[in-house]
Amino acid sequence: MQWHNAGDFLNMGGYAAFVWPSFALTLVLLSGLLWRSRAELRAAEAELAAAEAAAGRRDPA
């Protein structure tokens, strides 16, 4: 372990202002994209269900 205490860890040897935003941006971008993709999938599934229902109503097979 490179760090002796939490304070040193957060301080990143003085580079905290550069290191932590980098990792924060990574988290934000990757999780944001994941969240967005899941939302688009849910929307597509709903759209398909609606289209299938509409088609089913026309020709009850």
Partner 1 sequence: MNLHALANPTRFLRLCAAILPWSAGLTVLLIGAGLVWGLLFSPPDYQQGHSVRIMYVHVPAAWMAMFVYSVMAVASATALIWKHPVADLVAKASAPVGAAFTLLCLVTGSLWGQPMWGTWWVWDARLTSVLILFFIYLGYIALWEAFDDPAKAGRAAAILAIVGAVNVPIIKFSVDWWNTLHQPASVLTMQGPKVAAAMLWPLLLMGLGFTTYYVTLLCLRVRAEILGRRARQLRLLAQAG
Please pick, from the candidates 4, 6, 34, 61, the single residue that binds partner 1 as defined by CB under 8 A. Answer: 34
For 21, the 3-state DSSP assignment is helix
Q: Quick one: tokens of 9?
A: 């860890």
Per CB under 8 A, 10 contacts partner 1: no
Show the tokens assigned to 5: 């205490």
Cβ atoms 12, 20 nearer than 8 A = yes
Positions touching partner 1 (CB under 8 A) are 1-3, 9, 12-15, 18-19, 21-23, 25-26, 29-30, 33-34, 37-38, 40-41, 43-45, 47-48, 50-52, 54-55, 58-59
